[in-house]
Structures are given as structure tokens and as C-alpha cells.
């Protein structure tokens, strides 16, 4: 069930504010990640820049900046879609790149409290709209966006949700647009993380090892015609940044 957040202009700040939405959280998200993303107390706990940076072994700024650079120029015109909220200041930095008067940023998430948290981090007047909907079933028109970004999302989804999410991202980005994905990957053979991470991921991120076994493009719909795909390794291959041109 997708429910669009009604956004209004806050009289005091001019920022887009989410109002009164209730969404059905997917069963896998409630079962596996209730303690990380779903409960309001969990959001308050994890919304700390230093903590998120520690979780990715000091690579947060590197991964964030890689995603921003792959999206396009320093000033983004047109429509940009962030699929799922992210802890840390990714959305703030992305909103700062949206060209005033010429660009707009939509951020979707299936958890209303995540949208509220995202708005709370943004400066007054930021050109950002929050929408409560499932990444696997976007209530958005075909080809609406010039670009979309998925930041550390796909490894948290079971295979069927991951494939649907990518299919939806493909659908809502216009031909000629781009999709940027930053996520885990299988490290180089000589990296100690290649051997340390699987047990930890199996315990805390049960769907993440899919991203180790298969390339991102294998999760795309078979009918998707990729104009170009570029992949960059980060931190000895523990993370990857992929840009797909439609």
C-alpha cells in the first residue's frame, strides 16, 4: 500500500513538511530491521553522523560524495529522486546541489517517521518533498525523473524486493537519465573484510550477501536496455558505486 505524503509549506520556515500519513511497513523490514529503521527510538539512536560513519568503517563521506558526484554536475537541474531515506547528511548535501528555481528533490521512504526525521535535518526552504511509499511499488509517473539515487539500500532488501525496487527506479527515470547505486560489494581477495564481514552480515544484514555473489546488473529486469554501466570499487572493494545510464 502506497500513501503519498501531503506536503505543505510551513509558515515559519517555508520547508516542505509531511502531514498525517500511515504506511504499511513490509513484513521483511519489520522482522529484520525494526530495531534499526522502523521504531522512532531507533531512528533517534542511529541518526548520528559519527555512528553512521563508524558503521561503514570511516567511509561515509567518501561514499556520500561518490554518490553525489556520479549523479551529475555540482548544480542539479530537473528532477532528482532519492529512493529511501538515509542516515547522515546525504540528503542535506543532495538538496544543496539542487539548483534553486530549476531543480527539485523528492525523497521516498515506506516509514513515515523516516520522512519526518529527514525533514528535521533539512534547512528552511530546502526544495525537498517527502513521500511515503514502498520503493518496490512507486506511486509515481513513468519517466518523471532525470536521475535517481539508491544509497546503501539494496543490500537490505530480499531478492524479490530488490528486483522490484530496481524495476521501479528504471521506470520512473526518463530515457537518457541515470540511476546511481552505492552499496556493499565483495572485497578484493587480499582485504581482511572479505573474510571478516560474511558472518557479521549473515547475522545483521541477512540479504547483503546477495550483493557479494552477483553484480548489480543481474538484479535489473531482463527487458531493461542499459545504455552504459560503470562500476567503481571503494575501500578495497567492500563498497561499490554504480552508475547506470538509461
Instruction: State the total domains in the chain.
Output: 1
Say if 12 falls within a structural domain. Answer: no
Say if 11 falls within a structural domain. Answer: no
User: Using CB atoms within 10 A of its CB, is residue 128 exposed (0-12), middle (13-18) or buried (19+)?
Assistant: buried
Beta bridge partners of 128: 105
Q: Domain range spanning residue 215?
A: 21-245
Say if 85 falls within a structural domain. Answer: yes
Q: What is the dihedral of CA 80, 83, 87, 90, to 10 degrees?
A: -20
CATH code (residue 143): 3.40.50.150
Say if 71 falls within a structural domain. Answer: yes
Those residues with Cβ within 8 angstroms of residue 206's Cβ, 6 or more apart along the chain or in another chain: 32
Say if 160 falls within a structural domain. Answer: yes
- Tens digit of pLDDT for each residue in 93-118? 999 999 777 899 999 999 999 999 99
DSSP letter at 73 equals: S
Distance CA 194, CA 209 (A): 11
Say if 5 falls within a structural domain. Answer: no
**Helices and strands in the chain, H and E counts:** 9, 9
Least confident of 29-33, 96-100, 213-217, 236-240: 96-100
The band of 1, judged by pLDDT with boundaries at 50, 70 and 90, is: very low
Amino acid at each position: 500500500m502506497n500513501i503519498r505524503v501531503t506536503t505543505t509549506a510551513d509558515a515559519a520556515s517555508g520547508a516542505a513538511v509531511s502531514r498525517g500519513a500511515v504506511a504499511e511497513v513490509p513484513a521483511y523490514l519489520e522482522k529484520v530491521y525494526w530495531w534499526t529503521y522502523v521504531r522512532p527510538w531507533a531512528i533517534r539512536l542511529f541518526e548520528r553522523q559519527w555512528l553512521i560513519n563508524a558503521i561503514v568503517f570511516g567511509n561515509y563521506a567518501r561514499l556520500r560524495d561518490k554518490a553525489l558526484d556520479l549523479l551529475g554536475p555540482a548544480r542539479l537541474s530537473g528532477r532528482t529522486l532519492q529512493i529511501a531515506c538515509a542516515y547522515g547528511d546525504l540528503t542535506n548535501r543532495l538538496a544543496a546541489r539542487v539548483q534553486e528555481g530549476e531543480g527539485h528533490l523528492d525523497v521516498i521512504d515506506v516509514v513515515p517517521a523516516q520522512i519526518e526525521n529527514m525533514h528535521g535535518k533539512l534547512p528552511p526552504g530546502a526544495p525537498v518533498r517527502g513521500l511515503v511509499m514502498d520503493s518496490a511499488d512507486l506511486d509515481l509517473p513513468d519517466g518523471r525523473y532525470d536521475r535517481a539515487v539508491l544509497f546503501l539500500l539494496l543490500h537490505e532488501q530480499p531478492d524479490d524486493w530488490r528486483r522490484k525496487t530496481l524495476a521501479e527506479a528504471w521506470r520512473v527515470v526518463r530515457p537518457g537519465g541515470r540511476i546511481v547505486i552505492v552499496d556493499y560489494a565483495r572485497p578484493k581477495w587480499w582485504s581482511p573484510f572479505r573474510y571478516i564481514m560474511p558472518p557479521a552480515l549473515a547475522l545483521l544484514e541477512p540479504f547483503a550477501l546477495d550483493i557479494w555473489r552477483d553484480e548489480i546488473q543481474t538484479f535489473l529486469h531482463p527487458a531493461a536496455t542499459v545504455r552504459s554501466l560503470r562500476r567503481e570499487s571503494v575501500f578495497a572493494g567492500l563498497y561499490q558505486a554504480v552508475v547506470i545510464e538509461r
